[in-house]
Amino acid sequence: MDALLDLLNSRPLVNGEEHDALGDPAGGRRWAREHGGEGSLAELALLREARDALRDVVCGESSPAALSPLLEGVHQVPEFTPDGLQWTVKTPPHARLAVEVVLAWAATEKQLPGRLRPCANDECRLFLLDRSRANRARWCSMAVCGNRAKARRHYERTR
């Protein structure tokens, strides 16, 4: 799940300027390797495609079917281990990390439906995974986006 949020949040706005962790080959290679990838150009292209498709799905702009092309050529293979039957996902090497992120999204939707969402701050591009009991978290960070929203509301009330 960490790679899922990290990928969705890999293109934040900082002081109104976009910072894309996957934008240049060196930075993208570093990001991919930190998340267990190989850092190849093909992998980075697929990660950018996965990020954009997932963003659209999580924001409700696309249906989950938009993720299907990311799973082409992926197979599940049964293997017997000392712990019993285990299913292993087989992917082309450059696609493994993107596939893992899509599978993490599917698991999140199954286990925590509706809890992965964009920050409620319109000036923020980050996403959050709401783990609160009430399922009412709205901001990626209470310290940043939450305080800004509360300060804005307070200013509007006192004007």
User: Whole-angstrom Cα distance, residue 154 to residue 157?
Assistant: 5
pTM for the full predicted model? 0.86
Q: Which residue has the tokens 């009412």?
A: 136
- Do 29 and 38 meet the contact criterion of CB atoms below 8 Å apart? no
Going residue by residue through the chain (159 aa), what tens digit of pLDDT does each one get?
A: 699 999 999 999 878 888 999 999 999 999 999 999 999 999 999 999 999 999 999 999 999 999 999 999 999 999 999 999 999 999 999 999 999 999 999 999 999 999 999 998 888 889 999 988 888 888 887 767 866 656 666 567 777
Q: Report which of 52, 17, 47, 14 is spatially closest to residue 29, judged by C-alpha positions.
A: 47
